[in-house]
Structure 1
Amino acid sequence: MAASGVELAALGDLTGPQREGAMRRFAVLRPYLEDGVPLAQAAAEAGIACRTAQRWAAAYRDKGLAGLVRAPRSDAGHRRIPEDLRHLIEGLALRRPAPHVTWVHRRAVEVAKEHGWPVPSYSTVYAIVRVLDPALAVLAHEGTKRYREVYDLIHRREAKGPNAIWQADHTQLDLWVIAPSGRPVRPWLTVVEDDYSRAVAGYAVNLGAPSSLNTALALRQAIWRKPDPAWHLCGIPAAFYTDHGSDFTSAHMEQAAAELKIRLVFSLPGQPRGRGKIERIMDTVNTLCLSDLPGYAPRGTKDRAGQARLTLAELDHALGAFFVGTYNQREHGETGQPPQARWEADAFLPHMPDALEQLDLLLLTVAKPRRIHPDGIHFQSLRYLDPVLAAYVGEDVTIRYDPRDLAEIRVFHQDRYLTRAICPQLAGTTVSLKDITAARNARRRELSGTLRQRTSVVDRLLAVHATPPEPLDPLAQESPSGPEESRPKLRRYREE
């Protein structure tokens, strides 16, 4: 009688040793069960006691193969040592840095002798240390941050469609390029990714460290239509998910997001949950794109600054070709689709800004409140002038400036664009005295005309509503009787 499929399936949840033990016992009983061999003879041939074979046969008839599984010991997993000694061994093993088991055993033996406990063997100490909870060991030896990365249960953000969530991040590339000064430097890369399709929507490569302006440049490219007809991704995202870096949490990015109606979402400081998608792009760039370029220097290799050959513009061109022609067109391992094809799959119509100039104004300029003084607008110890400002002296305005070029600023009054004011020291030009005088006189004439018009209205309205004077009594106008008052007379000197 062979073991049935049902019986074998019943062993599927058992560990390897338990399953193998049950099959060995069944092999001993097989001559007895299938060939009619007496049980005593089968037991003798297998070298086991007849009583043991009888017990196995009874268990098989009662429960099948499951009855041949050896029951676990009631004290399995428990060491016959004092509980305090076991806790001591575990506590020693959880010290930072992680100690060697030999040191733990030596210290445990010393303490056991001092307290009169049974002296643990090396194998006992090793077995206790080996079965420690891995999460507990990681928390003890590598700290909270590593524990969160490995064992914390997380909620992963999943976008419902294109442009629902964009992510952005920076990385210093494993590549040396030649700066305009001629010295080799390692550039920084900023990437904006569409969370739903995993496609690269925009990027920026710079020589400087990450900043809000570098982020704005990458976001500008991601939002606006691309000059490359093969790169279709564009539009304003509903949410922008980044880490808690100062360049992402800056007032400039907050203001631009508010104007574009983008919801900013930040990961917790030191806990980059859901950031693996954008970090995967960075790894792919380093391994698939930069590895074929001169000056590539992966971490852990010797300094290869002397191998730098590319300029920043050449690297920018290589990265653009990689993102558009390779990365966005390759099948993604998680979605099973090329990123760009997934973004375009549902004939998605992105929400766009009204004009590129409006987008530049929001992303590439910084807004600050200022007041117009008689000598212009004061900003960063500079003075900005324009004849239009003559009509707004004393008024509060909002200026927008490009941090890369302070030669001019844009001036807004009550959300209405006024003019571009220039700084004579930086712009290479100036506002002439003639222009200032003409604007000043025109403003004065405008005010004077307004004043005359208001005065004439007042005089006209007051004249209409004025009360006519009472008529005078003619008798009252006669001189009163009585001696005429003496009046001084003018002396004349006719004879002189």
Structure 2
Amino acid sequence: MRASERQALTAMLNQAIAAGGGNVTGDVVRRAADGFGISTRTVHRHLKTMRDGGPATHTVRAGWWSDPQTRQLVLAAVASCDSLKQAWRRLHADKTITVSYPQFTRQYSDNIAPAVAAGLRGNGREDYLQMSLYLEDVPERPNTRWQADSQEVPVWVRPDNGTAPFKPWQVTFVDEATRMVMATILLPGPPGGEDAVAALAAAVRGFRTADGTFVGGIPQTIKWDNGTEFINQTVTAACLRLNIAPFPAAPYSPWQKGKIERWHRTIQTELYSHLPGASDGPRSFQGTEWWRGADTNLLPFSALVLKMQDWVVEYNTERVHSAIGCTPLTAWKAKATNVAQAAPQQLFPLMLRASSKRTVSKDGIRFEGRRYLAAGLAKYRGCKVDIRLLPLDGNTIYVFDGDDFICEAVPSGQLGTDERRTVVQQRHADWQTIKAAHERAAVVRAQTAVINAATAPPATKTATPTPSRPPYDAAGATGIFAESDALTDLLGDDDL
């Protein structure tokens, strides 16, 4: 019997003695024997020891487990042998221990913790960690620690401009305290350092929910695995720029970032497994996916992106998380205070760059099939500029002249009233500058003509005079320099 069992048996018998006036009936002895899995003879022997004034519990004799040096020899033998019996034979042969094998196994199980035993006889650290107890470390405040990871999406899709099916990849950042998905992006291939940095920048820049709640900011630490998309100079430089402490998990230790791993399983179960082309979906008797040969049934890559984004919004705002008992948005509202936000200048170097420069035309910048416009583009008309952007943000591009920031541009249809007024006012100001310059030029030409006429030598013969340009008359001018006509041509009827 274990020491704890002996103590429990002693307590039970003491209660029976007190209730029976010093006597213990046979029924009590039988119930004690059945309850502890021992014989009635053992119960009587234990009861006799108690009545004779002996120890209430059995005193364990000192053995190999109580001597540190012998204990280390035993543990080393167990770790180096294939079985516990082989270790006992070796220890028994060199006289390290003298007990029988049944006694040795009983002593080993009584004095060696299961986690230590698993680590000695299995794969070492991995088996020990599997059997160990863990204290859950959950931050109380949002943005204390994020978890990040990438996965190959288990769904075959077809490219928007192509025919060969492929599996996308996904990079995700999750806040540990609230389980909020800070940012997640889909990529047509395995992610690199620039993709991870762009996703991080999108998460830090944040977003606003339908009720106006800001979600984002700079985390204190980020925990991710040792994948090359995270362990590289680009990501390290981005973390240093934002004052974030990266915290790589130990190799082959997915439980150290269990929240992002659990999120992967959730989206696979609730979204990806129900889509056409799911790699874990039905197969033929030959093991071929059902969609093979009928690729038109697959979703386009852009359609998968939209479905994923809609699901993430529902996950953040409507789905109750079992671990926290509410939606991630509710937890964020309850805990998020004084969120540290990043200045736009901090995120500029982290953004994705367009593959080529774009020319600023009269209606703005054409990028990915849309026209983007901003008041700050006026003086760059006809110039080539650089475009940077954040993932999942198709409504804003960031315009640069080399590394110098110019402005943020939005689709022309989304230009606000103030921005439109600024554009019109700038065009009016430009026209006033042009008109004043022409007026001054007309005055200079008139003065020059008078001076030339006064100082010209007498003509020896009559020559056909060269018609001179008439001076500019702002009051009665017609044609291109007429104020109303020129403004109408430049600004359009709607602007006036």
TM-score range (shorter-chain normalised) is 0.5 to 0.7
Using the TM superposition, give the Cα deviation of residue 145 of structure 1 relative to its aligned residue in structure 2, in angstroms: 5.6
Counterparts of 2:69 and 2:265 in 1: how far apart (Å)? Answer: 48
Change (3 A) 1:296 1:20: farther
Gaps of 5+ in 2: 30-39, 293-297, 355-385, 392-398, 408-496
Which residue number in structure 1 is paired with residue 352 of structure 2? Answer: 364
Q: Say whether 1:127 aligns with 2:106.
A: yes
What TM-score do the two structures reach when normalised by structure 2? 0.52
Partner of 1:219: 200
TM-score w.r.t. structure 1 length? 0.52
SS in 2 for 1:209: coil
> Is 1:91 the counterpart of 2:76 in the alignment?
yes
Is residue 178–residue 310 contact of structure 1 (8 Å, CA) maintained in 2?
yes
**Structure 2 match to 1:285:** 267
Structure 2 residue 315 is the aligned partner of structure 1 residue 326: yes
Cα distance, 1:139–1:229 mapped onto 2, change above 3 Å: same
Give the Cα separation in 1 of the matches to 2:96 and 2:338. 79
Deviations 1:167-204 (A, max 9, x none): 32212234444456544443322111223322112101
Q: Which amino acid aligns with 1:195?
A: E
Q: 1:384-421 CA deviation, whole Å, 9 max, x = no partner?
A: xxxxxxxxxxxxxxx9989x9xxxx9654xx64599xx
Could you say if the C-alpha distance between residues 129 and 326 of structure 1 is closer, same or farther in structure 2, counting changes exceeding 3 Å? same
User: Which of 83, 98, 101 in structure 2 is aligned with 1:100?
Assistant: 83
1:260-279 maps to which residues of 2 (within 5 A)? Answer: 261-267=242-248, 270=251, 275-279=257-261
Distance 2:259 2:51 in 1: 59
Contact 2:193–2:232 (8 Å) recurs in 1: yes
Q: Find the aligned partners of 1:288 and 1:233 in 2 and give their Cα distance.
A: 26
State the partner residue of 2:490: none
Tell me which residue corresponds to 1:466: none
- Residues 172, 181 of structure 2: 8 Å contact kept: yes
For residues 14-35 of structure 1, what are the alpha-carbon distances to aligned partners after superposition, in whole Å with 9 as ceiling and x for unaligned? Answer: 83443234424653675445xx
Who is 2:306 aligned against? 317
Tell me, yes or no, if the aligned pair for 1:176 and 1:186 is still in contact at 8 Å: yes
- In 1, distance between residues paired with 2:273 and 2:108? 43
Could you tell me whether the CA contact under 8 Å between 2:239 and 2:246 is conserved in 1? Answer: no
**Equivalent position to 2:187, from 206, 217, 229:** 206
For the 8 Å contact 1:138–1:147, the answer to whether it is kept is yes
> Alpha carbons of 1:79 and 1:25: their partners in 2 closer, same or farther (altered >3 Å)?
farther
- Aligned twin of 1:71: 57
Q: For residues 19 and 178 of structure 1, do their structure 2 counterparts lie closer, same or farther at Cα, with a shift above 3 Å needed?
A: same
Q: Which residue of 2 aligns with 1:187?
A: 168
Deviation at 1:125, TM superposition (A): 3.7
**Conservation of the 8 A alpha-carbon contact between 1:138 and 1:146:** yes
SS at match of 2:326: coil
Q: RMSD of the TM alignment (CA)?
A: 5.4
Amino acid at match of 1:168: A
Q: How far apart, CA to CA, are the structure 2 residues paired with 1:32 and 1:72? A: 25
- The answer for the alignment partner of 1:142 in structure 2 is 123
1:236 aligns with 2:210: no
Q: Does structure 1 conserve the Cα–Cα contact (< 8 Å) formed by 2:145 and 2:219?
A: yes
Using the TM superposition, give the Cα deviation of residue 55 of structure 1 relative to its aligned residue in structure 2, in angstroms.
Answer: 8.0
SS, match of residue 123 in structure 2: helix
SS in 1 for 2:196: helix
Bigger Cα Rg:
1
Aligned partner of 1:247 among 226, 229, 236: 229
Show the counterpart of 2:148: 168
Q: Is the 8 A contact 1:32 1:42 kept in 2?
A: no
Q: Which residue does 1:471 correspond to in 2?
A: none
User: Using the alignment, how far apart are the partners of 2:279 and 2:221 within structure 1?
Assistant: 32
Percent identity over the alignment is 20
Which runs of 5 or more residues in structure 1 are unaligned? Answer: 1-13, 34-38, 60-66, 367-398, 420-496
Aligned-partner Cα distance in 2 for 1:174–1:335: 27
Q: CA deviation at 1:342?
A: 1.7
CA contact (8 A) 1:165 1:240 kept: yes
The change in CA–CA distance for 1:93 and 1:304 in structure 2 (over 3 A counts) is: farther
CA spacing shift, 1:123–1:177, aligned 2, 3 Å: farther
1:405-484 counterparts in 2 under 5 A?
412=402, 416=404
TM-superposed deviation, 1:219: 3.1
Q: Contact 2:182–2:216 (CA<8 Å) still a contact in 1? A: no
Alpha-carbon shift at residue 225 of structure 1 (Å): 6.0
Q: Distance in 1 between matches of 2:107 and 2:126?
A: 26
For 1:190, give the aligned amino acid. Answer: V
